[in-house]
Structure 1
């Protein structure tokens, strides 16, 4: 986006009463932010929702001074700015009516990968949540998804750390300007995240992490992702807001079930009970529901045929070679593995190209 256009869009954002929905309506009608400020009263009055109060606000020249200050911050801090009509704007977020007009980013974000998922949950993550998150991301790693979260305490930072550990791109969507990091204790992770992903926000440099900003931040997390995964949540919390937003955007939502007596499984269990989320017991569930299965004829998979299977995978492979097509439950029984274990093994073997899934939860060796 050229500097002059950015300047006028920034000024439009400072006009009191102009939110993302109204800004998009005006920009689409007039073609540019500069044209909005030079439009005649009759032209503005023809726009649904533009009354005399808003027309007066659009004549307020102080917004240009504020826009210039923010433009200088962007230029002096190497901040990247993406406009909602540009090609590099998150594709799924383009289809959200209330998506931000501008996104400010830092780091090395590359959204060409269509496999984008958000992982959210409680700030009081338990050992159960941590263990599930580790196994989940480890099993998904061969598919190279982008992991999006909010860089907060608990599930968020665990998801970011694990993404980095498994060399996946990760994006922290923050509820403040890019001149600061919240919480401050997470500053030690900033360099790593920016090396393999980065940070994203709609907030200007003068925006602090105020309570209401987190709700607005959550719609970006939900809107830009193909699916939202809730690892753990109490019966109330920001992650449930994100899940509801994802549902509103017609995105897939998954929740990890837990014991009914566990405080931080109540929110997930309720999402499942009210059919607002799919049950997530392993990475295989997500791969199946999102149709991320790798085609066996692909070149990438053919190369994987030469990898070595571990002892458990070899046991399953030998059984399938002998028995032919078989149900997941039967494979687990005959090979003496619990369901959660066999699901992970089958996913890894599928990614290596030695087995393939069939309709009806059947699997066969290739």
Structure 2
């Protein structure tokens, strides 16, 4: 068994050591093994490490717990992913309070191209359910991964609608990965393992205590590209998650609601305070996130000839067609070899001809439906 890996797991079972302190210890000492080898004096010189923590490291030898955890994970088909592992999700690694250890179960790809987190009240209304249904139907065309917390209300509906529309979905737990909470959602959690899965930072057997859920919310906020609040009251976990996402510089969206409905107050306040983009349909999310609307694409047999265009226009169109995705002005200039000033003039002409479409952020895409045969894809 890899002794350094075992040491890394063992550090998680020493009381008083959180993710930040753990990373600090490993960074100063060089490895998890060296943390246990360090003298008390050395440990006390590390910022954030006081006498209690130093003594706990020196006196604690939780090797047996670490070995049992690894054995249990292997039997349950659970992957233990350390912060230092190459497969640790890059989006989560970017936040300063990222978990130092993740438990993953299922068929999970946390490097999915598009990840949307959905949160909201546990007491969802028919209006909220309708908004959610419309959103998930739109996200299906993008093959987005749907992230939520498996809780009552909006969370579980998001997971179920994702499964309904064939989208991968991941539940982030505030408990051990073997403790499904609430238990009523166990069947849905089991289905999610086939196309998505479950994730937590908590050891096996951890109960869903209240203090675990704010920590769980930071994982949801850290893993997503966009966070959507469907319904929320004045206070609660959904608003905490939205604040965290804003702090991580993620795009936050909220469905507006009636000023007379309690569970629209939180969403309306987020929009009013400019802490969330107004969301009325998936098109708003596509626009803000610069996600192109799914459209027909040209088959190889029907590659456009551009014979009706000037040579420079043909060069721009060919560059966009080969990219198969919107290009920013600078990137388009670099790939086509045309100076930005001349390129801007050509793009305006092509836009007037209906050959290209401008996108948010000074990006452009080719209107494929105007060039030859097409085949519809999601």
In the other structure, the counterpart of 1:358 is 358
- Runs of 5+ unmatched residues, structure 2: 303-353, 371-378
> What is the match of residue 251 of structure 1?
250
1:302 alignment counterpart: 298
Please identify, of 30-39 and 115-124, the stretch whose mean Cα deviation from structure 2 is larger.
30-39
Matches of 2:357 and 2:155 in 1, distance apart? 32
Aligned length: 315
**TM-aligned CA deviation for residue 276 of structure 1:** 1.0
Change (3 A) 1:356 1:254: farther
In 2, Cα distance between the equivalents of 1:204 and 1:95?
23
Change in Cα spacing, 1:197 to 1:235, as seen in structure 2 (3 Å) is: same
Tell me the secondary structure at the aligned position of residue 97 of structure 1. coil
Aligned CA-pair RMSD: 2.6
Counterpart Cα distance in 2 of 1:151 and 1:80: 20
Q: Distance in 2 between matches of 1:115 and 1:192?
A: 21
**Residue pair 1:124, 1:153 contacting (<8 A) in 2 also:** yes
Distance change >3 Å, CA 259–CA 357, structure 1 → 2 = farther
SS at match of 2:298: helix
Q: Which residue of 1 aligns with 2:124?
A: 125
In structure 2, C-alpha distance between the alignment counterparts of 1:200 and 1:51, rounded to whole Å: 31
Task: Give, in whole Å, the separation in 1 of the partners of 2:43 and 2:213.
Answer: 33
The equivalent of 1:106 in structure 2 is 105
Contact kept, 8 Å, 1:146 with 1:168, in 2: the verdict is yes
Q: Deviations over 1:208-227 (max 9, x none)?
A: 00111111110000011111
Please tell me whether the aligned partners of residues 14 and 60 of structure 2 are also in contact (alpha carbons under 8 angstroms): no
Paired position in structure 1 for 2:231: 232
SS in structure 2 at match of 1:200: strand
CA contact (8 A) 1:146 1:169 kept: yes
Q: CA separation in 1, counterparts of 2:298 and 2:27?
A: 47
Structure 1, unaligned runs of 5 or more:
307-353
CA distance, structure 1, for counterparts of residue 50 and residue 237 of structure 2: 35
Query: Take 1:356 and 1:141, find their aligned partners in 2: how far apart are those partners?
Result: 25
Structure 2 Cα separation of the partners of residues 180 and 53 of structure 1: 31
Match of 2:16, SS state, is coil
**What is the Cα deviation at residue 113 of structure 1?**
1.7
Q: Which residue is 2:275 aligned to? A: 276
Quote the Cα distance in structure 1 between the aligned partners of 2:194 and 2:154.
21
| Alpha-carbon displacement from aligned partner over 1:255-307 (angstroms, at most 9, x marks no partner) | 100010011100000111111111111101111111111597xxx73259x9x
Q: 2 CA distance for matches of 1:281 and 1:60?
A: 57
The offset of 1:3, in angstroms, is 4.5
User: For the Cα contact (< 8 Å) 2:148–2:170, is it kept in 1?
Assistant: yes
Trace 1:134-145 onto structure 2 (pairs within 5 A).
134-145=133-144
| Stretches of 4+ aligned residues off by more than 4 angstroms | 354-357
Q: Give 1:1-366 correspondences, 5 Å limit.
A: 3-293=2-292, 301-303=297-299, 357-358=357-358, 366=370
Give, in angstroms, the shift of residue 36 of structure 1.
0.5
Q: Given the two structures, how large is their TM-score scaled by the length of structure 1? A: 0.80
CA separation of 1:295 and 1:107: change in aligned 2, threshold 3 A: closer
Deviations 1:79-117 (A, max 9, x none): 111111222212111011111100001110012322111
Q: SS at 2:141's partner residue?
A: helix
- CA separation of 1:5/1:75 partners in 2, compared to 1, >3 Å: closer, same or farther? farther
CA displacement, residues 318-353 of structure 1 (integer Å, 9 cap, x when unaligned) = xxxxxxxxxxxxxxxxxxxxxxxxxxxxxxxxxxxx
Contact 1:294 1:301 in 2 (8 A): no
Deviation, structure 1 residue 126: 0.9
Q: CA deviation at 1:159?
A: 0.6
Aligned to 2:58, the other structure's residue is in SS state: coil
Is the radius of gyration larger for structure 1 or structure 2? 2
